[in-house]
Amino acid sequence: MPDRVLARLTLAERASLTSGQSLWLTQAIDRAGVPSITLSDGPHGVRRQPAGGDHLGVEHSLPATCFPPAVALGSSWDADLVRRVGEALGREARAMDVQVLLGPGVNIKRSPLCGRNFEYFSEDPHLSGVLGAALVSGVQSQGVGACVKHFAANNQETDRLRISAEIDERTLHEIYLPAFHHVVTTARPWLVMSAYNRLNGVYASEHPWLLTELLREQWGFRGVVVSDWGAVDDRVAALRAGLDLEMPSSGGGTDASLVAAVESGRLDPEVLDAAAGRVLDLVERATRHAAEPAPTGWDAGGHHRLAREAAAQCAVLLKNDGVLPLRPADRVAIVGEFARTPRYQGAGSSHIVPTRLDDLLTEVRALAGREPAFAPGYRPAETGRCPELEEEAVRVAGGAEVTVVCLGLPAADESEGYDRTHLELPANQLALLERVAATGTRVVVVLSNGGVVRLAGWDHLAAAVLEGWLLGQAGGGALADLLYGVANPCGRLAETIPLRLEDTPSYLTFPGELGAVRYGEGVFVGYRHHDAVGGQVGYPFGHGLSYTRFGYADLELDQQGTEEDLVVRVSARITNLGERTGREVVQVYVGAPSTQVRRPERELRAFGKVELAPGESAVVRFTLTARDFSFYHPLRRRWTLEPGTAVVHVGASSRDLRLSGEVTLTAEPPRVVLTPESPLADWAAVPGGLEVLRREMRPPAETGQPHSRFLSDSGLRMAGSVPLRRLARFPGAYLDPDKLERLAAEVNALLSR
């Protein structure tokens, strides 16, 4: 049908299809029977704005379930759970007449300071990709399109509409693109959203390599590329580069520029038709699905229960000396305004109006069956200390065996649109913590924050720390479940908690200067950096405690095939050694060799979550392929496997590796092709190469020297980096410049023998 429709449209109508009709609607063309479809944020709830809702009024939307934001879902390390959340999001979108949900966001947490980290899953591309794909599959299983965003390299908010992310090719392919690649190739999202920023000088929305060569031609993406809201700078350039749909409406202005460009011959009409055709395909697909019978409304209670179940699997127990879980008989006090007024999501376009909101205080009351002593302790929006509130908190804590102290970041500290400048909790909250701890009560800290906060300096005051991130509307109930052992903590850190901001790899370059941000740390992002420099961290990537313990045994590595066909099957037996049912996140890290580039010590390549009853054990299995041992070779411009010994670790965190085994990789070493430009050392390194040079570089007989002094051991060391073409000009080289091409062919032939 799209082709037939397209044929009946005027040039102006075709152009109009490739931009929005309003903030959230695509352009309808009534005359041709083309309806509008509705796009809504995303990602952790449906932000359906009532007709006329303005973009900046993000807080005005229809009530919807506020599921745990990505920062929390990332810590679940549970693709099945994320898929179920996606299904629920899809059901709500259907019921609210939304055809496309704008999410998930799979950008990498390059710096813990990014103001929007709460909307992203992880510092690791594999984890981000697997969870992003799970969310897309869940949403789309309900006949609603998902839109993976923000493509690509949108890793900060500072100057986000103009900044140029300066990233070398290897780093792009190994860190910033794999999550998108995985989502696009395995879950097939209906849309991809291009980012606001520039990538190496070119706007992502106008980037032909990114949007066409890579996304469509190499990855096979068939859907619609939509701009982030207001990301288009030059509409003609964007369309040419592969952007199909500009959002929101530009009031017709940029449509007219497309028409003018076609009429003046600057824009090939087929390029416009291809984009308009893809938008028509999307509209057709969305309306076909929307017409299928679907339940009207959704089970708000059921979704709230799912939000609670999910939240309980996202919180990360960072430390515990045994104080947790609490027993109903414990004399417990609760301190901190966040227990009564929860922080459960971040600010900006992902803001959801929840259907209900649980708070920890009410939920503890319900669970423990009595009224816990409570004092707010601080005012979240204020940084100054409040002596009366502190006194009251000290009094309350002084009478309790255990005090749960709820701390976290004030809402204004983290939002879309700006970055943080430090990792500290507010000084008034830390002062409160010190005073509470000084009463002698045992302290359990519960944290609410979307971006990482620094714990070094105060965590010694706490007997236990539960990192609650932002847990969505049912977070209060989930936290109560975890504190009282109704649920067993099973979240794991999806990002490193550093000891200091200064230890983070992007410290010196984030958020850039003079319009550009140089990703100077390269592939060494997050744990890849900390492990490479052997640095201490607060809590490592992958870490998280449980109320039970797990044993790891019987690692087996079964290797088949070589090179591109390599498959390594990994299995290990995990046993619940404790007294409670619990879930373990089994993590597989690979450290692979390279003579060509500096590689991380080890990288997460697979993971799985397994639930075990006390005493129960299970064999968990993973499959690794050649890609998991490869690196992206920037000169060959492809993934490259090098021969040598790789190590496969199976463990409970990036720093808690329980089992390790070796895999012998066989592959052709990456071929060096010699040219006259190649340095002397490369020529000499080829078996037989030195002999060829010795034959050619002969001084006249009267010198008595067998060959040029540059070919002696010291000569080779000193002049090894000189390209042969330039060496030939030196006195004493005795090399005929006209013979170089022929010599290169001769030595290259030796190489391929």
Judged by the rule CB under 6 A, the positions of this chain that interact with ligand BGC are 41-42, 102, 149, 228-229, 349
Give dist(CA 463, CA 402) in Å, integer: 9
Kindly give the interhelix angle for 79-95 and 300-312, rounded to the nearest 10 degrees: 160
To ligand BGC, the closest distance from the beta carbon of 715 in angstroms equals 59
Nearer to ligand BGC, 83 or 149 (CB): 149
Give dist(CA 732, CA 523) in Å, integer: 43
Nearer to ligand BGC, 349 or 355 (CB): 349
To ligand BGC, the closest distance from the beta carbon of 24 in angstroms equals 8
Classify 534 as helix, strand or coil: coil
To ligand BGC, the closest distance from the beta carbon of 100 in angstroms equals 10
Nearer to ligand BGC, 77 or 121 (CB): 121
Place of tokens 């509130």: 389
DSSP 8-state class, residue 730: S
To ligand BGC, the closest distance from the beta carbon of 417 in angstroms equals 8
Nearer to ligand BGC, 75 or 194 (CB): 194
To ligand BGC, the closest distance from the beta carbon of 154 in angstroms equals 8
Nearer to ligand BGC, 41 or 255 (CB): 41
Residue 710 in tokens: 């540059």
Q: Considering only CA atoms, which of 554, 542, 564 is closest in space to residue 629?
A: 564
Sheet holding 582-591, edge to edge: 603-612, 582-591, 644-653, 656-665
> Contact at 8 Å (CB) between 25 and 36?
yes
To ligand BGC, the closest distance from the beta carbon of 229 in angstroms equals 4
The dihedral sign for the CA sequence 185, 188, 190, 195: negative
Nearer to ligand BGC, 229 or 552 (CB): 229
Give dist(CA 342, CA 475) in Å, integer: 8
Give dist(CA 324, CA 330) in Å, integer: 11
Radius of gyration of the chain (CA): 29
DSSP 8-state class, residue 336: S
Nearer to ligand BGC, 149 or 198 (CB): 149
Give dist(CA 465, CA 462) in Å, integer: 7
Q: Considering only CA atoms, which of 498, 619, 637 is closest in space to residue 569?
A: 619
Q: What is the dihedral of CA 288, 291, 292, 294, to 10 degrees?
A: 140
Q: Considering only CA atoms, which of 111, 115, 159, 157 is closest in space to residue 513?
A: 159
Catalytic hit among 78, 124, 159, 228: 228
For residue 128, give the amino acid letter.
Answer: S
Give dist(CA 569, CA 293) in Å, integer: 43
Q: Considering only CA atoms, which of 57, 13, 19 is closest in space to residue 249?
A: 19
Give dist(CA 428, CA 51) in Å, integer: 42
C-alpha distances in Å from residue 570, one per residue of 566, 573, 575, 606, 630:
13, 11, 17, 10, 17
Nearer to ligand BGC, 196 or 631 (CB): 196
To ligand BGC, the closest distance from the beta carbon of 149 in angstroms equals 5
Nearer to ligand BGC, 149 or 609 (CB): 149
Nearer to ligand BGC, 149 or 649 (CB): 149
Give dist(CA 627, CA 629) in Å, integer: 5
To ligand BGC, the closest distance from the beta carbon of 356 in angstroms equals 24
Question: Any residues with CB less than 8 A from the CB of 497 and at least 6 apart, and which?
Answer: 318, 452, 453, 454, 455, 537, 538, 539
> Contact at 8 Å (CB) between 657 and 715?
no
The dihedral sign for the CA sequence 141, 147, 149, 151: positive
Give dist(CA 44, CA 488) in Å, integer: 23
C-alpha distances in Å from residue 1, one per residue of 13, 225, 233, 277, 288:
16, 20, 32, 10, 12
Q: Considering only CA atoms, which of 197, 231, 331 is closest in space to residue 20?
A: 231
To ligand BGC, the closest distance from the beta carbon of 150 in angstroms equals 6
- Give me the residue whose beta carbon is nearest to ligand BGC: 349
Nearer to ligand BGC, 71 or 102 (CB): 102
To ligand BGC, the closest distance from the beta carbon of 47 in angstroms equals 8
DSSP 8-state class, residue 602: -
Give dist(CA 598, CA 594) in Å, integer: 7
Bond into 700 cis (ω within 30): no
Nearer to ligand BGC, 41 or 244 (CB): 41
To ligand BGC, the closest distance from the beta carbon of 83 in angstroms equals 21
Nearer to ligand BGC, 161 or 681 (CB): 161
What angle is formed at CA 95 by the lines to CA 92 and CA 100, rounded to 5 degrees? 70
Count other C-beta atoms under 10 Å from residue 434's C-beta.
11
User: Is 228 considered catalytic here?
Assistant: yes
CA 701 from chain centre, in angstroms, equals 66
Enzyme catalytic residues: 228
